[in-house]
Amino acid sequence: PELEINLNERKYIESELLNMIADESSEIWMQPILRLSDSSVFAFEVLSRWFHPSLGEIAPVDFIQIAEEIKLISAFDRSVIKRSCAQLTELRKLHSDLKLCINVSANTLMDSSFATFIGEQIQLHSIPNGALMLEITETVLASDEAALINSITAIREWGVRFLIDDFGTGYSSLSRLNAMPLDYLKIDGSFLIALDENQDTICKTIIQMAHSLDMLVIAEGVETATQMQRLAELNCDFVQGYFLAKPMNLQQFTHYLQKI
């Protein structure tokens, strides 16, 4: 009976997820990414939120996983991209050089019509060169190398930049990383904890490696002043985390931009 309840609940979540994607009822939340040199706002990362009327808030890691399993992730990611690009145009009226980072899953990126879709969005919303960045994780690097490079190269021709997310938490192949046309690298927050204990070897190594591969570095999950200070000493380029600002809804983020 317990299994049956779980199965029914899962079926219910799947059908609700289907509806959520169809009527685009997830919320686009935003977390600022600041330049470490002068604390100015560089970009924001889009973090999706799903508030279900009876199930409550469902964490993105959970619903993204289900969307992957039922092959709806590409539809979801595209809907997030569409809505965020429309939003960017409005937000750039408040902060002219603002850039936008969006998470995309490997399946979304490897879809053969994705580059065309991105081109349409760039044109439709007149997104300037370099203002849209796509965040991919190391799992993407497991895809067929030639196909992956083709896909990234075609999308970069639209002025889109690529960012490797959660760097160091998966199974990165450094030779693969070197072969990929990537622009930014995000250090996972789990590596920043050592900075509070005065151990900077890992962060220092990652930052130096990224810089020598011509990538700029974003440290995410920054939670303490000590981490900020150490990251500045290590020449990290950008910071993101609760210490600076938590993810916000559109109204809160608009207010945040108006205040700075």
Nearer to Ca ion, 77 or 166 (CB): 166
Looking up tokens 């969005």 gives 121
Of 222 and 234, which CB lies nearer to ligand C2E in the complex structure? Answer: 222
User: Which region among 33-41, 122-130, 166-174, 223-231 touches Ca ion (by CB under 5 A)?
Assistant: 166-174
Residue 136 Cα to chain centre, angstroms: 7
**Residue 166 CB, nearest distance to Ca ion (Å)?**
4
Place of tokens 């992730």: 73
Sign of CA dihedral 236, 227, 195, 185: negative
Minimum distance, C-beta of residue 258 to Ca ion, in the bound complex (Å): 25
By CB under 6 A, name the one of 74, 87, 103, 121 that touches ligand C2E: 103
What does the block give as tokens for 217?
């570095």
Cβ atoms 245, 28 nearer than 8 A: no
> Smallest gap, in angstroms, from Cβ of residue 98 to Ca ion?
17
Total number of residues that touch ligand C2E (CB under 6 A)? 22
The phi, psi pair for 135, rounded to 5°, reads: -95, 120
The interface partner of residue 236, options being ligand C2E, Ca ion, none and the CB cut-off 5 to 8 Å by kind, is none
- Pick from 166, 215, 237, 239 the residue near ligand C2E by CB under 6 A: 166
Query: DSSP labels for 37-74?
Result: TT--EEEEEEEEEEEETTTEEE-HHHHHHHHHHTT-HH
Residues that bind ligand C2E (CB under 6 A): 31, 46-48, 59-61, 64, 77, 80, 103-105, 165-166, 189, 221-223, 241-242, 247
